[in-house]
Amino acid sequence: MDTRRPSTSDKRRTFRELHAAGCFVIPNPWDVGTAKFLEQLGFKALATTSSGFAWSQGLPDRGVARDQALAHFEALVDATDLPVNADFEGGYATTIAELAENVTLAVRTGIAGLSIEDSTGNADRPLYDVATAVERIQAARRAIDRAGGDTLLVGRAECYLVGRADIAETVARLKAYAAAGADCLYAPGLRSRADIAAVVAAVAPKPVNLLIGSVSDLALDDVAALGVRRVSVGGALARAAWAGFMRAAQMIAREGRFDGFRDAASGAELDAFFSALRPGSSTRGPAR
């Protein structure tokens, strides 16, 4: 049996092939353990979550420094044989030169894709104007091309997340980012079938990523029928884990009760799962 791990080029080629047809889920781990677990469940690719990782470091979303993020990308890439898409926020840069440098550094971690969003982090001016946002996508595209061009670039329009739920503006931005060199388009916050379908049609044939970060009446088959290529969950898995932890800890602190452990995972099961992943192990089956 061939036990060689896929190369960075292999992962990037696989990642691009996933975007060519069909619809797949790209879940968002926040550390090595969650990445390994998701891999064993049979997912075909993973994506980082800026919020989930930040919370694991005791920071708010957008509170992680560039070098922390880069080290995190590298750790997840090394931990799994799956392609990893990096949530690179706004590129950790305000200038075009900084953005290009940072994208180059991110590509060197071995990621298969990265996203650049158009939000500024400034409440008074939450989004870059379209011309500036396009220039930033173009700079990321050039940096990727100089590095070999096989890393997938995702252009994000953050309109719905900053209180500008305007499908016309969102579509216009995504079309501009597609023309500027984005390989995949993403507008987090879309919920209605009409809005999702409008985005898919506007940027076709380029693939669209849909965020489903809360309970939804859309199943994967529904999303696929709308033409979406991939579905991510953002920080939702991390929030679900935090919810269980918070409930159990708060019950101890406030009531002196330990009922929050009722649904806890078995330590023996977790040990068995991770032991099976160690080099030399004869068992590497799916998680129970």
Distance CA 126, CA 152 (A): 25
Q: Minimal CA–CA distance to 14: which of 85, 83, 81?
A: 83
How many other β-carbons are positioned within 10 Å of the β-carbon of residue 266? 10
Distance CA 110, CA 114 (A): 11
Distance CA 185, CA 192 (A): 17
Annotation: CATH topology of 8-234:
TIM Barrel (3.20.20)
What is the pLDDT, as a whole number, of residue 279? Answer: 77
CB 37 within 8 A of CB 273: yes
Give DSSP secondary structure letters for 125-193.
S-B--HHHHHHHHHHHHHHHHHTTS-SEEEEE--GGGGT---HHHHHHHHHHHHHTT-SEEE-TT--SH
What is the pLDDT, as a whole number, of residue 282? Answer: 43
What is the pLDDT, as a whole number, of residue 286? Answer: 41
Q: Between vectors from CA 126 to CA 121 and to CA 129, what angle results, nearest 5°? A: 115
| Domain residue ranges of the chain, discontinuous segments joined by + | 8-234
What is the pLDDT, as a whole number, of residue 2? Answer: 58
Whole-model pTM: value is 0.94
What is the pLDDT, as a whole number, of residue 117? Answer: 98
Look at the alpha carbons of 24, 28, 34, 36 in this order and tell me if their dihedral is positive or negative.
positive
Q: Between vectors from CA 171 to CA 166 and to CA 125, what angle results, nearest 5°? A: 55
Q: What tens-digit pLDDT sequence spans the chain (288 residues)?
A: 457 899 999 999 999 999 999 999 999 999 999 999 999 999 999 999 999 999 999 999 999 999 999 999 999 999 999 999 999 999 999 999 999 999 999 999 999 999 999 999 999 999 999 999 999 999 999 999 999 999 999 999 999 999 999 999 999 999 999 999 999 999 999 999 999 999 999 999 999 999 999 999 999 999 999 999 999 999 999 999 999 999 999 999 999 999 999 999 999 999 999 999 987 654 444 433
At 119 the three-state DSSP class reads strand
Q: What would the two tokens of residue 142 be?
A: 């050039």
Q: Between vectors from CA 183 to CA 181 and to CA 189, what angle results, nearest 5°? A: 110
The residue ranges of DSSP E strands in the chain, in sequence order, are 24-26, 46-47, 84-87, 113-117, 152-156, 184-186, 208-211, 230-232
Q: Minimal CA–CA distance to 154: which of 132, 136, 129, 131?
A: 136
